[in-house]
């Protein structure tokens, strides 16, 4: 009898073990998350949006092996505010980041508010290892830098732009910066240490991104890979320029070469995910921080407008996402999504809990058709200094423009499902106009005025802060 009892107990123990193990195997694994953010890329300057001039096979892999968003937006038309929205999952005007931050390392208000959480903060509480690479532009004050905003590692630069060739990085620390543009010439930072980097900037960032994946593939990770390319200055190495020797326009040739360098880096990163056997459970998102600009010969066709304004060319961007475990190949999603959705999607599958309410939503169930309808009732944008704003509600877009010279405003209305180029200004019924205006008015009541002077007020800021560049070495 005693032997039978012991045998039964042993069998029960074994069954419990295997049952538990089976449950554990079925439990979804938290996905890795990689955001590849490029700077000032034209809407048409990737293959998946129709470029015939710039081959981007690796970037295109993200779209072809996942989903292409035909109506993918960012939350602002210039760098700093757009990044603040993406990295918090909240409209940046909620916390006063409605302007491009200046280089002002003494000023804790010049950048992303310390009261806001980043995606790295939230995922970090769930055991994610995180790295920020490249362009930061969310504040140079010591308390605003990546390692203070949830990231475990940083490799890049703090300002809104940078030279690409190492021989031009002639400033050893920030104490040598005497004007805003000088920050483009600093040596790169690895965490809190200046490094003697030898590679072309884009290649160096790609190398460090691959290294991070190689070293952290056995645990969930988050990577924010913020390439500076193809933001000015237009600089490329002979390796990439040779690919476009047929292009006579020197600016366009260099711009194309810079995009091609990014594409090479994306290829190395995707290959590393394959090599480590983690590609299927890694969310990879590709987008630009805002629209392209004619100054660097970016091609925004067929969109109207460009970086800095609220027409489609300023806020609608190349946008794609790959997650083989959840998203079918060659998917196309036609309804509006926004960069704010990236954080909401990531934290949902990481089972993470942000402390503040997000404006983004988890878009995967909409892509897979588990959920119907639009992810957002409306999307809204505000350019505070230009006194311009816009609303997209369904397919209808309302934009209110202000003319500083005449001190007059005008309203324009477009059906984006039929008029992506915003060429046919519609006459709408009064009630429909009121509905669109109400959608904006209810939103803007929740927003605040910018909490710092921005790039457009550089001279004024320096006059008010004469010790702006008087800082210790870093």
154 pLDDT higher than 70: yes
110 pLDDT higher than 90: yes
At 277 the three-state DSSP class reads coil
- Count Cβ neighbours within 10 Å for each residue of 118-130 and write b for 16 or more, e otherwise: bbbbbbbeeebbb
Confidence of residue 141 (pLDDT cuts 50, 70, 90): very high
Radius of gyration of the chain (CA): 24
The rounded mean pLDDT for the chain is 94
**Is 2.170.130.10 the CATH number for 379-457?**
no
- What integer pLDDT is reported at residue 18 of this predicted model? 44
Write the pLDDT tens digit of every residue in 391-400. 999 999 999 9
4 pLDDT higher than 60: no
Residues noted as catalytic:
79, 137
- What integer pLDDT is reported at residue 20 of this predicted model? 38
Better-scored residue on pLDDT, 22 or 94: 94
Confidence of residue 28 (pLDDT cuts 50, 70, 90): low
Residue with tokens 């800082």: 471
Nearest CA to 216 among 142, 283, 276? 276
356: Cβ–Cβ under 8 A, 6 or more apart, which residues?
90, 116, 117
User: What separation in angstroms does the CA of 45 have from each of 208, 354, 456, 471?
Assistant: 25, 35, 28, 40
Question: 35 has which bridge partners?
Answer: 224, 285
Tokens, residue 179: 């004007």
Instruction: Report the range of poorest mean pLDDT among 27-41, 413-427, 437-451.
Output: 27-41
Alpha carbon distance 381, 339 (integer Å):
13
Parts of the chain belonging to CATH 3.30.1120.10: 379-457
Which H/E stretch holds residue 202? helix 201-216
Exposed (0-12), middle (13-18) or buried (19+): which is 385, by Cβ within 10 Å? middle
Nearest CA to 361 among 351, 347, 350, 380? 347
- What integer pLDDT is reported at residue 440 of this predicted model? 98
- What integer pLDDT is reported at residue 315 of this predicted model? 98
38 pLDDT higher than 70: yes
Confidence of residue 163 (pLDDT cuts 50, 70, 90): very high
Alpha carbon distance 422, 372 (integer Å):
27
Residue with tokens 């369904």: 394
Nearest CA to 413 among 394, 400, 426? 426
Mean pLDDT computed over 98-121:
97
- What integer pLDDT is reported at residue 71 of this predicted model? 98
CB 99 within 8 A of CB 41: no
Mean pLDDT computed over 2-29:
46
Instruction: Report the range of poorest mean pLDDT among 12-16, 421-425, 468-472.
Output: 12-16
Cα-Cα-Cα-Cα dihedral of 359, 304, 247, 226, to 10°? -10
Alpha carbon distance 375, 450 (integer Å):
28
9 pLDDT higher than 90: no
Mean pLDDT computed over 350-357:
97
Q: How far apart are the first and last CA of the chain?
A: 76
CB 74 within 8 A of CB 82: yes
6 pLDDT higher than 60: no
Write the pLDDT tens digit of every residue in 310-337. 999 999 999 999 999 999 999 999 999 9
At 125 the three-state DSSP class reads coil
- What integer pLDDT is reported at residue 66 of this predicted model? 98
Tokens, residue 265: 């880096």
Question: Beta strand pairing status for 189-190 and 193-194?
Answer: antiparallel
Alpha carbon distance 85, 63 (integer Å):
23
**Is 2.60.40.1760 the CATH number for 28-367?**
no
5 pLDDT higher than 90: no
Confidence of residue 471 (pLDDT cuts 50, 70, 90): confident
Nearest CA to 211 among 288, 136, 155, 145? 155
DSSP string across 355-370: SS--S----HHHHTTS
Parts of the chain belonging to CATH 3.40.720.10: 28-367
Confidence of residue 30 (pLDDT cuts 50, 70, 90): very high
Write the pLDDT tens digit of every residue in 233-254. 999 999 999 999 999 999 999 9
- What integer pLDDT is reported at residue 47 of this predicted model? 98
- What integer pLDDT is reported at residue 2 of this predicted model? 44
Write the pLDDT tens digit of every residue in 127-138. 999 999 999 999
19 pLDDT higher than 80: no
């Amino acid at each position: 009898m005693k032997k039978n009892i012991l045998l039964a107990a042993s069998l029960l123990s074994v069954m419990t073990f295997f049952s538990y193990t089976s449950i554990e195997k079925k439990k979804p694994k938290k996905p890795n998350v990689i955001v590849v953010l490029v700077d000032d890329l034209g809407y048409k300057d990737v293959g998946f949006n129709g470029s015939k001039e710039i081959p981007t096979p690796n970037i295109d892999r993200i779209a072809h092996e996942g989903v292409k968003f035909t109506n993918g937006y960012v939350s602002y038309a210039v760098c700093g505010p757009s990044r603040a929205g993406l990295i918090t999952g909240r409209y940046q005007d909620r916390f006063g980041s409605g302007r491009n931050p200046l280089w002002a390392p003494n000023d804790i208000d010049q950048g992303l508010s310390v009261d806001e959480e980043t995606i790295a903060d939230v995922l970090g509480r769930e055991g994610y290892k995180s790295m920020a690479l490249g362009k930061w532009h969310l504040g140079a004050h010591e308390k605003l830098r990546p390692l203070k905003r949830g990231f475990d590692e940083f490799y890049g630069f703090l300002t809104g732009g940078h030279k690409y060739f190492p021989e031009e990085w002639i400033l050893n620390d920030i104490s040598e910066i005497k004007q805003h543009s000088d920050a483009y010439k600093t040596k790169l930072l690895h965490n809190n240490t200046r490094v003697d980097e030898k590679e072309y900037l884009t290649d160096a960032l790609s190398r460090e991104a691959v290294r991070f994946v190689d070293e952290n593939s056995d645990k969930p990770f988050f990577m924010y890979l913020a390439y500076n390319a193809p933001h000015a200055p237009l600089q490329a190495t002979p390796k990439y320029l040779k690919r476009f020797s047929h292009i006579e326009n020197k600016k366009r040739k260099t711009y194309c070469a810079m995009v091609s360098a990014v594409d090479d880096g994306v290829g190395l990163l995707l290959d590393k995910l394959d090599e480590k056997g983690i590609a299927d459970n890694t969310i990879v998102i590709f987008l630009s921080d805002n629209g392209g600009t004619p100054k660097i010969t970016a091609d925004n066709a067929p969109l109207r407008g460009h970086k800095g304004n609220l027409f489609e060319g300023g806020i609608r961007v190349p946008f794609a996402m790959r997650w083989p475990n959840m998203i079918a190949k060659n998917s196309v999603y036609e309804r509006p999504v926004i960069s704010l959705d990236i954080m909401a999607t990531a934290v949902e599958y990481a089972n993470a809990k942000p402390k503040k309410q997000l404006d983004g939503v988890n878009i995967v169930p909409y892509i897979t058709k588990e959920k119907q309808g639009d992810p957002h009732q409306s999307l809204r944008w505000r350019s505070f200094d230009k006194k311009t704003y816009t609303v997209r509600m369904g397919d209808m877009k309302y934009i209110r423009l202000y003319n500083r010279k005449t001190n007059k405003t005008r309203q324009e209305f477009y059906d984006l499902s039929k008029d992506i180029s915003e060429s046919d200004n519609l006459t709408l019924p009064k009630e429909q106009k009121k509905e669109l205006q109400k959608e904006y008015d209810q939103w803007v009541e929740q927003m605040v005025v910018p909490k710092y002077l921005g790039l457009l007020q550089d001279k004024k800021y320096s006059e008010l802060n004469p010790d702006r560049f008087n800082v210790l070495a870093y």
